[in-house]
Amino acid sequence: MLRILTLLLLLPSTAFSFSTLPRPLPPISTSTSLSAKKKNVIILGGDGFCGWPTSLYLSDKGHSVTIVDNLSRRNIDTELGCDSLTPISSPQTRVSAWKEVSGKTIDFHNLDVAKDYDKLLSLIKEKKPDTIIHFAEQRAAPYSMKSTKGKRYTVDNNISGTNNVCCAVADSGLDVHIVHLGTMGVYGYGSSGGEIPEGYIDVVLPGGRESNILHPAYPGSVYHATKCLDAIMFQFYNKNDQLRVTDLHQGIVWGTNTPQTVRDERLINRFDYDGDYGTVLNRFLMQGGMGVPLTVYGTGGQTRGFIHITDTTKCLEIAMENPPKKGERVEIFNQIAETRRVRDVAQMVADQTGVEMKMVPNPRQEAEENELDVSNQKFLGKGLNPTTLESENGLFSEVVDIVKKYKDRCDPKMILPASYWNKDRAKACEGMDIEKHMKN
């Protein structure tokens, strides 16, 4: 059952380009006014797919932004032998270009949040941030299941990084609001039998005792398991050290650019199309733009939550401007615009691009079909009017235009899955003929 959770936002129909600036997006209304106090923000993982456009968006809104990143995602590109489809500039070039086009300064610090604890603590004491936005985690479920190396790295990096952030905030003695980008995958992707609430669920304990507890975790990969452990870590530090934390359970992000990243080609966001890091809709749009059959895993009956990258940046601002008070429990938002079955999303792209769908064996250990009924009332109540897949076809065009512009950078053999959840899934995917698939 398909459920659209939000109102439609009509955006300009022109595709983003680098030769001309796009028409301004309509302003969203949040619970804070334009005269609200500007924040001092540290963005961990600020060089990444979500971190970079969020950094630019918050800087553009007048907040003081410091980026922290160890460039691990760029190093994984080298490991996998697959670059971003878009040619992304170095962090130094990016922040310099942003200063040129906006007049605003973003500081960049190269440090490893999971390993360089003393440097992280010193930076927090120096900058005295109002908010720390935590993107500094290995973000791909397929990569986390690719090998023992991927599993161990994902756990070591993600869990140690989150623990270090919490420890550093507690040790600093500062009242810092931590905003963490989590995932809808903490809930699992089975059919829950009802609407998934935002983080906490009402239960009746033995003896008829009523309670409201953290929603049970049901991870589907090592990556998702680390996000579940993050949630438990935040619960502890919130209880023990009264840290103020907001945890955002985000859906699948699609799109590439934002009104800030299109202002100069040196600001362009990364675009992952490979089987490990390419999110499903971006991968479909890339395949459609290349004229390659859309790879739908299994039956395509998996239901997922989706959100556009521009709305990710807005949600981070809303969360930042609405922190929990000292002593309040961890705040949790479901950060999605809508839910869709994967095969229905593929059909939308196929209709737009004229490229056929092709069902391929599913490399993941998951249910072939599932429902996903999710509440996202908190962001809607704070003024977010999200972009849905049907609300602006021009946003589809923007991605396809990016693909066509940089298609010579695409390595077609990287499109199909190369990570398998277990030996049975690997066996089921044996014999997948990449060349035959690419020939349509």
Annotated catalytic residues are: 183, 223, 227
Alpha-carbon distance values, 369 to 145, 232, 372 (Å): 21, 29, 10
Phi, psi (deg, nearest 5) at residue 121: -60, -45
Our measurement of the distance from residue 106's CA atom to the centroid of its chain's CA atoms, rounded to an integer in Å, reads 21
**What is the full DSSP assignment across 15-26?**
PP-SSSPPPPPP
Distance CA(66)–CA(64), nearest Å, equals 7
C-beta atoms surrounding 281 within 10 Å? 24
Q: How far apart are CA 12 and CA 260, in angstroms?
A: 15
Separation between Cα atoms, residue 281 and residue 398, nearest integer Å: 13
Which of these, 255, 246, 256, 230, lies nearest to 382 by C-alpha position? 246
Measured between alpha carbons, how far is 139 from 359 in angstroms, rounded to an integer? 25
Q: DSSP strand E in 26-174: where?
A: 40-44, 64-68, 106-109, 131-134
Please spell the DSSP secondary structure of 190-227, one letter per residue.
S--SS-B-SSEEEEEETTTEEEEEEPPP--SSHHHHHH
Between CA 332 and CA 201 the distance in angstroms is: 12
∠ CA 35-36-40 to the nearest 5 degrees? 125
Tokens for 399, please give them. 């991605």
**CA-based max dimension of the chain:** 67
